[in-house]
Amino acid sequence: MTWSIHHTEPGTGTRLDTFDAVHTVKVGAEHTDGAYELFEVEALRAPAVPPYRTPWAKSYYILDGRLTVHIDAATYDLGPGSTVTIPPGTAHTFAVTTPSARFLAFTTTGRAGRLFAEIVASVPRDLPMPEAMPALLAVAQRNEVTFA
């Protein structure tokens, strides 16, 4: 892999629907030699995913709406312009507290994009969540994502 110049127009990018949110790839790992990725995330108010750990770091920058982000024992209420950084291996989750939220997710390495793409490819969207859970958990395990 190598670094390359990459430009993404507004409203464009690969959309990866991962059940809890739609992650649009704005900068993929293939453009940064696997150093980082940038996603525009759109999420609706819904129950939060149980706390989980990833082997990569991430940061959120809120564009619209509000999130409550739980990181270990701390809770952060984030609105437009707010940021939070989550170190690798740290238990975390988020809940949208407005009807919807839109935020940027910056992740180190190229692993988050691979996880999202594998969810899209492996887990049928027409299944109710309880039926989709075994497939989601298998994808998480293959990508070294663990639940707290």
Assign residue 84 the CATH number of its domain. Answer: 2.60.120.10
With respect to residue 140, please indicate whether it lies within any of the assigned structural domains. yes
**Residue 63: which domain range?**
15-147
* pLDDT band for position 129 (cuts 50, 70, 90): confident
Residue 97 clears pLDDT 70, i.e. is over it: yes
With respect to residue 7, please indicate whether it lies within any of the assigned structural domains. no
With respect to residue 40, please indicate whether it lies within any of the assigned structural domains. yes
Q: Say if residues 113 and 25 touch (Cβ distance below 8 Å).
A: yes
* pLDDT band for position 124 (cuts 50, 70, 90): confident
Domains in the chain, number: 1
Residue 1 clears pLDDT 70, i.e. is over it: no
With respect to residue 4, please indicate whether it lies within any of the assigned structural domains. no
Mean pLDDT of the chain: 94
With respect to residue 23, please indicate whether it lies within any of the assigned structural domains. yes
With respect to residue 35, please indicate whether it lies within any of the assigned structural domains. yes
Residue 11 CB contacts under 8 Å (≥ 6 apart), including other chains: none
For 130, the 3-state DSSP assignment is helix
With respect to residue 82, please indicate whether it lies within any of the assigned structural domains. yes
Residue 18 clears pLDDT 90, i.e. is over it: no
H or E segment to which residue 118 belongs:
helix 111-122
